[in-house]
Amino acid sequence: MTTAEFIREYRERDIRQLALQANRFPDVDMPYALDQIQGWQIARRKLPKWAACDGVIFPPHLSMEQCSSEPTAQYKLNLAMEWAERVGHASRMTDLTGGFGVDFSFTSCAFAAATYVERNEQLCHIVEHNLPLLGLNNATVVCADAAEYLSTVEPQTMLFLDPARRDEHGAKTVMLADCTPDVVQLLPKLLEKSRFTMLKLSPMLDWHKAVDDLQGTVREVHIVSVGGECKELLLVLSTVVESELKVYCADLSTDSDTSSLFVYTPGSSAPVANSTFNIQQSTFLHEPNASIMKAGCFDELAAAYGVSPVSRNSHLFLSDEPIEDFPGRSFVVERVTTMNKGELRKALVGIEKANIATRNFPLTVAELRKRLKIKDGGDVYIFATTTAEGEHLLLISRKYR
């Protein structure tokens, strides 16, 4: 059995079990085969189109874990197409930090010609092998340092950068200036060489500071979540297009369609007063999605949807009527209780398990669960929060949608 045959036949097996059986397959390059099987198994979850393509070579584990998923890569393609139309050019793009090439394989489809740049020679060979298999024939692969290549590249419609977010010791970095390459240092060249530049940054980054660091060149901020988890922060830079800053909070479904999109202009809404609701049975409770939580646009959200915050720091919102398109989860409050033992006992009758979340509350989820003596799971949701008057409440709810 050849290595390729082994990979195809055993790619759905547990790689730990396969490693123990290596002696049974003397003709198989087992370390390589196990890397490919592990890569394929990750790709089946993150990149189903790539996993369905025979012959694709997968990189080491770290690159697979760090690469974009299909929904986020598709989002970047849509964004690239919109901006190429906006600036009136779709001629060429260059990805200066190519990596495994997932983002490149999507965004390059918006342009007549595309160049992949990567300083890791091994990744360049892998991408050069994979691109034709994926039907990408408009691409050129260049093994080079991003900063050095940028100084020689011809003007592009779009430049794309995903700066490395780990230092020389492998520790994660979240400050823009600590990433490699240093985008702030490269900023004049990026603006000179492109009609627009797209930056993919850590979702842990303070996007307000990043916008400030980039000296008024950021036109759009895109905060992208998938499955309730904030995955990417995208900044679009341009001096060709002059416009006020817009922030896009996108929550994607796994099939790459935008399940919700909230767009706002920072500072466009006055602070919304705390709720004057008498929180009771049949009140609708709304929890913003991860992108909105990251954006911190709670005043703009309240103004746009007519909801009232429980308190300034709760990040939970209330309404008398259901809001079908609220960007997040919605619940119907069935019971409300303070932490008084007698009230608690009465409110929790019949509830043996529940999903618990704390928002601006003195106890952690684990501490509250221990005090309530309730198991995890089920279809009951308990939100523990503090009102504007300082009262600690449990909002016992069920999902509305």
Topology of domain 3-66, per CATH?
Arc Repressor Mutant, subunit A (1.10.10)
**pLDDT value of position 142:** 97
* 135-191 residue pLDDT tens: 998 899 999 999 999 999 999 999 999 998 755 545 565 678 788 889 999 999 999
CATH superfamily, region 70-264: Vaccinia Virus protein VP39 (3.40.50.150)
How far is CA 368 from each of CA 134, 359, 383, 386, rounded to the nearest angstrom?
51, 12, 11, 14
| pLDDT above 60: residue 257 | no
**pLDDT value of position 1:** 82
Q: Strand ranges (DSSP E) for 144-227?
A: 156-161, 194-201, 218-226
Return the sign of the alpha-carbon dihedral for residues 191, 264, 249, 275: positive
**pLDDT value of position 228:** 85
Categorize the per-residue pLDDT at 262 as very low, low, confident or very high, splitting at 50, 70 and 90. very high
Contacts with 27 (C-beta within 8 Å, 6 or more apart), sequence order: 1, 2, 3
**pLDDT value of position 152:** 93
* 281-322 residue pLDDT tens: 668 999 999 999 999 999 999 999 999 898 888 999 999 899
Using the CB atoms, write b or e for 273-289: b if 16+ within 10 Å. Answer: ebbebeeeeebbbbbbb
* 192-224 residue pLDDT tens: 999 999 999 989 899 999 999 999 999 999 999
Read off the tokens for 109: 């489809």
Phi, psi of 103 (to 5 degrees): -60, -40
Instruction: Give me the mean pLDDT over the 19-48 stretch.
Output: 89
Instruction: Give me the mean pLDDT over the 251-265 stretch.
Output: 80
